[in-house]
Chain A
Amino acid sequence: MAYDDDFDGSGDRREGGAFRPMLRQGKRFSQEAAHRPILVFEDVFKSYRAGRPVLRGANLVIERGEFAFVTGPSGAGKSTLLRMLYRAENADEGRILFMGKDIARLKDDSIPFLRRNIGVVFQQFKLVENWSVFENVAVTLEVLRLPEKLVRTRVGEALERVGLSGRGEEPARVLSGGEQQRVAIARAIVGEPALILADEPTGNLDPQLAIDILGLFEEIHEQGTTVLFATHDRTLLEQRPHRIIVLDEGKITDVRRGLVTEDGNFLSAPLH
């Protein structure tokens, strides 16, 4: 397989891996890779406690460049599903193929290199409060040991994309919730990852801000990045005609487009 060693070998080198060039226009582009789904779950089982599985044979295919909502009642396993993708958790059984590589079998040493291909955004923002906005975004690139000048330019671009141009020097803690989440998004996209995971990114924001943030993820998606957006906020789901993946009772059910709700109980009775 073409990508087998990418998480391990390409290590510190940005352009060395096979991931990024495929996603960045004007770079080496692999036809074969473009047709392969970016993410496949095959009969994935996961439980934290014996007898109480969170995932019971979950199957899922995400194509390159998709935007998908992940939804389901609280405790259904949305966060667990996302955490398995950046290997904060590991599957008990089954395969999780990310760009063709089974990340459930990844050695611990390779996990950092997996994470360099995935941007993650949380409900709680997870910013380092006493770092500046710039430092909070630059950390993604510093870990890759990019030259300082390049870091500066690209952090500037990322901040511009999230609407925070010129705010780099401010300490992260003085920003409003919505602004902090924009910084977190800038941190997630500045490395131009193949996949963006957002775990209830609007959970701490008021409705209008939530829609703005959703719009931001949609803009990122339009640039070619695959986005998985976990939320249980139905207003957001109803807002846009994206693919909806429903997690319930340990299984994944797919609602391809939009969501027509009548009785408010759609999660346990997904529509087809």
Chain B
Amino acid sequence: MFDNPSHATRRARQGILREWRLFALSIFSLTVAFVCLGAALLVMTNLRAIETRWTHAGRVSVFLKESATDAEIEKTKVALEATAGVSHVTYVTSEAARDEYAKNEGNANDPLLALPKEAFSPTLEVDVDPNLDDKGIEDMEAKLGQLQAVESVETYRTWTNRLARLVRGGVAASGLLSLVVFASVLAVVGSTIRLALQRRKTEIEVLKLVGATDAYIKRPFLLEGSAQGAAGATGAVLLLGVLFLLVRGRMDGELTTLLGVEPTFLPWFAVVGMVVTGALLGTIAASLGLRKLVAV
């Protein structure tokens, strides 16, 4: 082979091993920066899952009075089915509600399951056309409220709207945060590379003296920069993974019931994206730091 990339890899490895403290410090700083970004992404991922779950659920829950008779319930169901925008109505008995909860929960020791079946209200779960506007939902809510058998109506609308606003704010904040994180990655890797450059001044002088091209001299530094960025992002993903497992282990049941979705970790493409972004930013930072090589 004419081109021998192993020189660059070897020199990069030697450089990192020799200056490992410098690189460890840099990677640690990058990990902290990427943890901020990753945490924001993680929160956003889950908020979005909740929002999607509730927005596209197109669902209205009609909570029935315990005193409601089967005939009243049947009448309500038929009336609902005839309403514009309603596509399907399911009657969920108290037992079914508890079983459903138990199935989602999967934890036999949950104290809620020890409660009598009456603790879970019977409901009519109404599938609503997802395109039905807020006005239509409000009308439906008002009409339903007047029925004998109905205890209360949950349209989830205010809750979804609030969530949507929260998600929008979160996206903007994450965007801003990622700019700050990217800037800090550039600053950290750039200054690490400049310091490494300073410490390896003789090495660079010698390389220039024996006729190494600038590209040949720069390559190991670029590799070191991208390795730092990738390592920082990987460290952040691992740290977040551990934190995620810890948090989920403690709050799983309550969270799931409350939110209606399982807490999820970052999707694989976000993880890969973070590592690739780290490597890319590291390379860019290194090449910026290398603009002026030592003159010989």
Chain A residues close to B by CB (< 8 Å): 12, 86, 88, 109, 112-116, 120, 126-131, 136, 139-140, 142-145, 187, 191
Contact = CB atoms under 8 A, between A and B. Distances in A.
Contacts of A115: 208-211
Given A143-B216, A145-B4, A126 B211 contact: no
Contact of B209 (A113, A120, A131): A120
Contacts of A139: 206-207, 210
A143 B205 contact: no
10 contacts: A86-B209, A88-B296, A114-B211, A115-B211, A126-B202, A128-B202, A128-B203, A140-B210, A144-B211, A187-B210
B209 A129 contact: no
Interface in B194-213: 202-203, 205-213
Contacts of A86: 209
Contacts of B4: 142, 145
B168 interface: no
B7 A112 contact: no
Interface string B105-127: 00000000000000000000000
Interface of B: 2-4, 7, 18, 202-203, 205-214, 216, 295-296
Q: What are the nearest 9 A-B pairs in CB distance? A: A116-B211, A115-B211, A140-B210, A112-B211, A143-B212, A112-B213, A128-B203, A145-B4, A88-B296
B18 A126 contact: no
Contacts of A109: 213
Given A126-B205, A128-B203, A129-B202, A145 B210 contact: no
Contact of A143 (B3, B18, B210, B295): B210
Contacts of A191: 210
Nearest to A87: B296
B142 to A, nearest CB: 79
A230 B296 CA distance: 18
B211 A143 contact: yes
Nearest to A11: B213
A71 B99 CA distance: 100
Please classify the interface of chain A as helix (H, G, I), strand (E, B), loop, or mixed, using the class held by over half of its residues. Answer: loop
A187 B214 CA distance: 20
Contacts of A12: 2
A99 to B, nearest CB: 15
Nearest to A119: B210
Contacts of A136: 206
A189 to B, nearest CB: 12
A140 B206 CA distance: 9
A130 to B, nearest CB: 7
Contacts of B214: 112
A140 B210 CA distance: 5
Nearest to B6: A148
A37 B22 CA distance: 50
A126 B210 contact: no
A8 to B, nearest CB: 12
Nearest to B204: A128
Nearest to A130: B18
A113 B211 contact: yes
Contacts of A131: 203
A131 B4 CA distance: 20
Contacts of A88: 295-296
Contacts of A142: 4, 7
Contacts of A116: 210-211
A204 B208 CA distance: 23
B100 to A, nearest CB: 68
A139 B205 CA distance: 12
B195 to A, nearest CB: 16
Contacts of A140: 210-211
Contacts of A112: 208, 211-214
Nearest to B18: A130
A136 B202 CA distance: 11
A27 B205 CA distance: 32
A210 B64 CA distance: 106
B31 to A, nearest CB: 28
Nearest to B202: A128
Nearest to B210: A140
B208 to A, nearest CB: 7
B206 A128 contact: yes
A108 B3 CA distance: 22
Contacts of B3: 145
A6 to B, nearest CB: 13
Contacts of B210: 115-116, 139-140, 143, 187, 191
A204 to B, nearest CB: 16
Contacts of B209: 86, 115, 120, 126
B214 to A, nearest CB: 8
Nearest to B214: A112
A130 B18 CA distance: 9
A128 B202 CA distance: 6
B202 A143 contact: no
A120 B296 CA distance: 12
